[in-house]
Amino acid sequence: MDIETYLREKKELIDSFIHTYFGAPIAPDILCDTMTYSLFAGGKRIRPILAIASYEACGGNGKEIVPFASALEFIHTYSLIHDDLPAMDNDDLRRGKPTNHKVFGEGMAILAGDALLTEAFYILSNYRHRSPHISPQSMLSLIREIAMAAGTHGMVGGQAQDLLSENTKPDADTLSFIHNHKTSALITASVRIGGILSNCGDEILAKLTHYGLSVGLAFQIVDDVLDMEGKTELLGKTAGSDKRKEKMTFPVLYGIDHSLKKAGGLVHSAINVLQSFTEKADPLREIALYILRRRN
Amino acid sequence: MDIETYLREKKELIDSFIHTYFGAPIAPDILCDTMTYSLFAGGKRIRPILAIASYEACGGNGKEIVPFASALEFIHTYSLIHDDLPAMDNDDLRRGKPTNHKVFGEGMAILAGDALLTEAFYILSNYRHRSPHISPQSMLSLIREIAMAAGTHGMVGGQAQDLLSENTKPDADTLSFIHNHKTSALITASVRIGGILSNCGDEILAKLTHYGLSVGLAFQIVDDVLDMEGKTELLGKTAGSDKRKEKMTFPVLYGIDHSLKKAGGLVHSAINVLQSFTEKADPLREIALYILRRRN
């Protein structure tokens, strides 16, 4: 399979859903502008694509869950907007473009994040988006899974610890807590919901969870290495910004070589756990490898 | 019936649920502290109580929906924390206490709001909270209703317009838009979910909606009058703060007397629409009157 084509095709499905979603008028106009500015600021849609690939790996038709998968991108985008705020990471650039608050002001950026998070749950609870194969109970599990991964026990908890840890001496436990919560939780949930929506059963779900945790951590490590190596154009944020803020990252703690070895091991483990899956899981396998290749 | 006793008893049920919710550990500690600081900063739990009273008016047992009703308080509290931020209304006091960001800093206050909003949807989707009378479909409708009222077409839309309208000349259409979205939407949704969860049917739901819209607007008008009259201790925020920011409010636009007449008419209309309801709707009737009495 050609993973580049796969990623492009799935991205088009997601982008198309998001465009349609904003076809209905939102008032005031600027609220719509600030949300779509960040939604279309160059994101690769990795989380929604993982959800679709996981659903397909369990035998489903990916098109059925495009709305639910897109809601993950709303949540990811909200987290980027809030993380970039002056009171948080204070970043001026994201994926090579001015951050949301630099364009729309802090107040409107906070509201854009709030709106994206809330609309995600509106989409996830919309019965109209449900295909006949998906039960209302599965939809509730989906919502709970995503809320868990995005809230205090996931993303927000990780960001709170990250904020507390700025300018402190790195230690392995804290770094692991931040990565597991801030990044891995939502990536793992993205993979898991493919399984949940296809009623895959506990054994398969455990394997998808292992895959998600491994790929999520590998993704974060590669991101931190790209930041340290200064590849602003690949990273899309101001390279070196972690170091300047004395952020606790994998390469800061373990060095670049050891970090990349660790990421390679995680990707290997993620692919390994999918051994019992058919060729329908090839996109999941290829996405894991793609995450390592981001460096080139 | 004694409305004071009713309000106290329901508030205790809600407070007890929230306390239990935070019984499970949340890391880092400060994230838990910042969320509970604002959740227990003196809120009267009007929205959850309206949901419970509405469920009872439709023949249900209010205790069954305490978790779902409490989620409304999580959402209301998040909106207060974010509204008070320097980039928004920049308020130092809320209900006579320092605002969240004054105590925990801006970054942690933004995260507290994000966490409260997300946890609300975790609670709402938690199948464990469902009584046997409530179907999974009703829970999905509940989530969609609340997400709609809290998002771009409700609260966030209203706050965005409010932010845009600071220091501009008041006009009736904009004022109406802000009130309907920023305050009435979530209050109306609170009343409606009592009907939705009891499968009350379209006719009853239309009446509850009328009640909610009327009471929601009356509530906002009385709030604005209290602000103008300078009753900080009743209002619980810095009185006169709207005027200082040249905020568009009902009394600014129409004067205090006309505003109070308008609020009285709305409360009358809210009670009137409940004529066909039994005495089980007495709490809804009394709450409408209570909103007017807040001034004394």
**What DSSP element (H or E) covers A290?**
helix A282-293
- How far is A207 from A192, CA to CA, in rounded Å? 9
pLDDT number for residue B88 = 96
Complete DSSP assignment for A101-115:
HHHH-HHHHHHHHHH
**In terms of Cα–Cα distance, which of A217, A215, A210 is closest to A259?**
A217
Task: Compute the average pLDDT of residues B31-39.
Answer: 98
- How far is A152 from A154, CA to CA, in rounded Å? 5
3-state secondary structure A211-226: HHHHHHHHHHHHHHHH
Q: Check if the beta carbon of residue A223 is closer than 8 Å to that of residue A252.
A: no
Q: Which of A31, A137, A164 sits opposite B136 (nearest CB)?
A: A137
CB proximity A87 to B under 8 Å: yes
The 10s digit of each residue's pLDDT in B56-93 is 999 999 999 999 999 999 999 999 999 999 999 999 99
A8 has a pLDDT exceeding 70:
yes
List the domains of chain A with CATH numbers.
3-293 (1.10.600.10)
CB proximity B171 to A under 8 Å: no
Token pair, residue A179, equals 């990565």
- Range of weakest confidence among A233-242, B225-234, B254-263, B268-277: A233-242
CB proximity A164 to B under 8 Å: yes
pLDDT number for residue B167 = 79
Query: Which residue in this structure is represented by tokens 């989409």?
Result: A123
Q: Which residues are CB-neighbours of A280 under 8 A, at least 6 positions away?
A: A56, A57, A58, A59
Distance set, CA B143 to CA B19, B68, B190, B264 (Å)? 22, 9, 11, 32
CA-nearest residue to B148 within chain A is: A122
The 10s digit of each residue's pLDDT in B38-52 is 999 999 999 999 999
B248 has a pLDDT exceeding 90:
no
Mutation target for A interface from B76, B90, B102, B125: give the one with most A CBs within 10 A. Answer: B125
Q: Is B97 helix (H, G, I), strand (E, B) or coil?
A: strand
Token pair, residue A120, equals 């995600």
CB proximity B108 to A under 8 Å: yes
Q: Check if the beta carbon of residue B145 is closer than 8 Å to that of residue B189.
A: yes
| Alpha-helical runs (H) found in A85-152 | 100-104, 106-124, 136-150
> What is the nearest CA distance from B227 to chain A, expressed in angstroms?
23
> What is the nearest CA distance from B147 to chain A, expressed in angstroms?
5
**In terms of Cα–Cα distance, which of A1, A50, A15, A31 is closest to A109?**
A31
Mutation target for A interface from B30, B88, B114: give the one with most A CBs within 10 A. Answer: B114
> Which of A230-239, B160-169, B255-264 tops mean pLDDT?
B255-264
> What is the nearest CA distance from A283 to chain B, expressed in angstroms?
30
A94 φ, ψ to 5°?
-145, 125
pLDDT number for residue B171 = 87
pLDDT number for residue A240 = 59
User: Sign (positive/negative) of CA torsion B262, B263, B264, B267?
Assistant: positive
Task: Compute the average pLDDT of residues A14-39.
Answer: 96
Q: Do A122 and B151 touch (CB under 8 A)?
A: yes
Q: Which of A82, A106, A140 sits opposite B136 (nearest CB)?
A: A140
Q: Which of A122, A148, A163 sits opposite B107 (nearest CB)?
A: A163
- How far is B203 from A118, CA to CA, in rounded Å? 28
Q: If you ran DSSP here, which 8-state letter would residue A82 be given?
A: H
The 10s digit of each residue's pLDDT in B164-209 is 998 788 788 999 999 999 999 999 999 999 999 999 999 999 999 9
* Count of C-beta atoms within a 10 Å radius of residue A126: 18
Q: Which of B106, B108, B137 sits opposite A136 (nearest CB)?
A: B137
Q: Which of A108, A143, A164 sits opposite B30 (nearest CB)?
A: A164
- How far is B201 from B107, CA to CA, in rounded Å? 44
- How far is B190 from B154, CA to CA, in rounded Å? 13
Q: Which residues are CB-neighbours of B9 under 8 A, at least 6 positions away?
A: none
B296 has a pLDDT exceeding 50:
no
Distance set, CA A268 to CA A16, A123, A218, A262 (Å)? 33, 34, 10, 10
> What is the nearest CA distance from B44 to chain A, expressed in angstroms?
24
> What are the chain A neighbours of B83 within 8 Å (beta carbons)?
none
- Range of weakest confidence among A237-241, B16-20, B248-252, B261-265: A237-241
Q: Which of A28, A137, A160 sits opposite B160 (nearest CB)?
A: A28
* Count of C-beta atoms within a 10 Å radius of residue B5: 9
Q: Do B152 and A119 touch (CB under 8 A)?
A: yes
> What are the chain A neighbours of B36 within 8 Å (beta carbons)?
none
Q: Which residues are CB-neighbours of B261 under 8 A, at least 6 positions away?
A: none
**In terms of Cα–Cα distance, which of B5, B58, B117 is closest to A122?**
B117
pLDDT number for residue A170 = 73
Q: Which of A87, A119, A156 sits opposite B118 (nearest CB)?
A: A156
Q: Is B45 helix (H, G, I), strand (E, B) or coil?
A: coil
Q: If you ran DSSP here, which 8-state letter would residue B98 be given?
A: E
In this prediction, residue B249 has a pLDDT band, given cuts at 50, 70 and 90, of confident
Distance set, CA A59 to CA A37, A197, A200, A276, B183 (Å)? 35, 11, 9, 13, 45
* Count of C-beta atoms within a 10 Å radius of residue B293: 11
B247 has a pLDDT exceeding 80:
no
pLDDT number for residue B131 = 80
- How far is B52 from B126, CA to CA, in rounded Å? 18
* Count of C-beta atoms within a 10 Å radius of residue A86: 17
pLDDT number for residue B169 = 80
pTM: 0.95
In this prediction, residue A296 has a pLDDT band, given cuts at 50, 70 and 90, of very low
- How far is A102 from A37, CA to CA, in rounded Å? 12
**In terms of Cα–Cα distance, which of A292, A274, A290 is closest to A1?**
A290
Mutation target for A interface from B152, B196, B245: give the one with most A CBs within 10 A. Answer: B152
Q: Do A156 and B114 touch (CB under 8 A)?
A: yes
Q: Do A117 and B115 touch (CB under 8 A)?
A: no
pLDDT number for residue B160 = 97
Q: Do A156 and B82 touch (CB under 8 A)?
A: no
Q: If you ran DSSP here, which 8-state letter would residue B92 be given?
A: S
In this prediction, residue B240 has a pLDDT band, given cuts at 50, 70 and 90, of low
In this prediction, residue B243 has a pLDDT band, given cuts at 50, 70 and 90, of low
Q: Do B137 and A127 touch (CB under 8 A)?
A: yes
> What is the nearest CA distance from A263 to chain B, expressed in angstroms?
26
A63 has a pLDDT exceeding 50:
yes
pLDDT number for residue A253 = 87
Q: Which residues, numbered 112 to 151 in chain B, qualify as contacts with chain A under a Cβ-Cβ cut-off of 8 Å? A: 113-115, 117-119, 121-122, 124-127, 135-137, 139-141, 143-144, 147-148, 150-151
In this prediction, residue B253 has a pLDDT band, given cuts at 50, 70 and 90, of confident
Mutation target for A interface from B30, B31, B85, B118: give the one with most A CBs within 10 A. Answer: B118
Q: Which residues, numbered 12 to 31 in chain B, qualify as contacts with chain A under a Cβ-Cβ cut-off of 8 Å? A: 26-28, 30-31
CB proximity A108 to B under 8 Å: yes
B198 φ, ψ to 5°?
-100, 15
Q: Do B147 and A35 touch (CB under 8 A)?
A: no
Task: Compute the average pLDDT of residues B119-142.
Answer: 91
A61 φ, ψ to 5°?
-95, 115
Task: Compute the average pLDDT of residues A120-139.
Answer: 89
Q: Which residue has the higher pLDDT, A95 or B162?
A: B162
- How far is A114 from A118, CA to CA, in rounded Å? 6
Q: Check if the beta carbon of residue B147 is closer than 8 Å to that of residue A119.
A: yes
In this prediction, residue A231 has a pLDDT band, given cuts at 50, 70 and 90, of low
> What are the chain A neighbours of B157 within 8 Å (beta carbons)?
26-28, 31, 115
> What is the nearest CA distance from B106 to chain A, expressed in angstroms?
6
pLDDT number for residue A242 = 62
A3 has a pLDDT exceeding 50:
yes
* Sequence-distant contacts of A128-131: CB under 8 A, at least 24 apart: A129/A67, A129/A68, A131/A64, A131/A65
- How far is B88 from A87, CA to CA, in rounded Å? 14
